[in-house]
């Protein structure tokens, strides 16, 4: 049972890291490639072929799939606060790549997010709702 808990925790953490990176960089590239305005409904489609937007969209598709996999075993009330560590990464990316200032207020926010993530991830198992019995999908 403890082995099972440890396995699930490690798997959850690994997926959470990938989910956070895909989300942060997906949104970063998306914002970078977006034009000033999308005038027509068609513009919402054609903008998807802009290279930065396309890269952002690909990362967000990976993010979506990894997140779906994560939610196949982990609680939503665990995944949502824990993946908020992405906001910290956004601030760091902004500072490193865009030379944005991190104000005292933002540092305070970063501290609160890190503390919140630590409480959730350290204070509860990733899975509390009891899953349905395994599906027919064979496990190797």
Partner 1 sequence: MKWLLIGIIVAATTAGEVLQAAGMRRHGEIRDFRPGAIGRALAVLARNRFVIAAVAAMAVSFFAYLGLLTIADLSFAVPATAITYVLETVLAKYVLKEHVNWLRWAGASLVICGVALVSL
In the complex, minimum distance from the CB of residue 25 to partner 1, in angstroms, rounded to a whole number: 14
Least distance to partner 1, CB of residue 17, Å: 15
Residue 24 CA: distances (Å) to CA of 28, 83, 92, 95, 118: 6, 10, 11, 14, 19
DSSP for 87-136, please give it: HHHHHHHHHHHH-----HHHHHHHHHHHHHHHHHHHHS-S--SPPPPP-S
CB of 8 to partner 1, least distance (A): 8
Contacts to partner 1 by CB under 8 A: 27, 30-31, 34-38, 44, 47, 60, 64, 67-69, 71-73, 75-81, 84, 87-88, 90-91, 105-106, 108-124, 128-129, 131-135, 137-140
């Amino acid at each position: 049972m403890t082995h099972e808990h440890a396995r699930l925790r490690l798997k959850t953490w690994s997926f959470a890291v990938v989910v956070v990176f895909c989300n942060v960089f997906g949104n970063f590239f998306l914002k970078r490639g977006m034009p000033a305005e999308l005038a027509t409904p068609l513009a919402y489609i054609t903008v998807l072929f802009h290279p930065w937007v396309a890269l952002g969209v690909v990362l967000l598709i990976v993010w979506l799939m990894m997140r779906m996999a994560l939610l196949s075993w982990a609680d939503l009330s665990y995944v949502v606060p824990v993946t908020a560590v992405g906001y910290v990464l956004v601030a760091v990316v902004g500072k490193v790549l865009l030379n944005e200032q991190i104000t005292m207020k933002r540092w305070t926010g970063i501290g609160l997010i890190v503390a919140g993530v630590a409480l959730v991830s350290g204070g509860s198992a990733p899975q509390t709702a009891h899953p349905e019995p395994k599906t027919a999908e064979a496990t190797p």
